[in-house]
Structure 1
Amino acid sequence: MDFEAFLRRCREENTVSDFESYLSYCIFEKGGSKGETLSVEEYSAMRDRAFDGRSEEAARRLYEISGAIQWQEGEWEGAMK
């Protein structure tokens, strides 16, 4: 997934969605991009800024940390189950 598609998803989805659940899973469970970690509080604040469309920088950081460049369209479907 390229960054523009990720950013568009952040702006279209709400914070209770398969997409957001998969994002947090990739960061906290899969380890995301090795070498960088976030606390739950940092993640929540960054996620809120990215999903509210207030910060492209926050979205870019989540994109990089989660390893979303490797994601395929629809990979997150059903992540909340």
Structure 2
Amino acid sequence: MSREFQRKQREFREDLNLRQNEENAAIIEKANKAIKQLADNEKYDLIVQDVVWVSPKLDITDKVIKALSDPQSAK
């Protein structure tokens, strides 16, 4: 009975990890589309996602979040 429980627990963890990875990939894809659209619309030459520091006047995080929450950007 203990082995059966451990097996089911392991299967559950594997399924959970797979589903989390799928959802994370979907979120990243949606964010990348929103960022690309923002870059096209505002004529940005470069957008860097992983930085150590950025000036608030260059930070487009709020614009990306707004684009992600806009139902029109879900297309």
Q: The TM-score by the shorter chain falls in which range?
A: 0.3 to 0.5
The structure with the greater share of residues assigned to helix is: 2
Which protein, 1 or 2, shows the higher relative CO under an 8 Å CA cutoff with sep ≥ 6?
A: 1
What TM-score results when the alignment is normalised by the length of structure 2?
A: 0.36
Which structure's CA Rg is the greater one? 2
Output the TM-score relative to the length of structure 1.
0.34
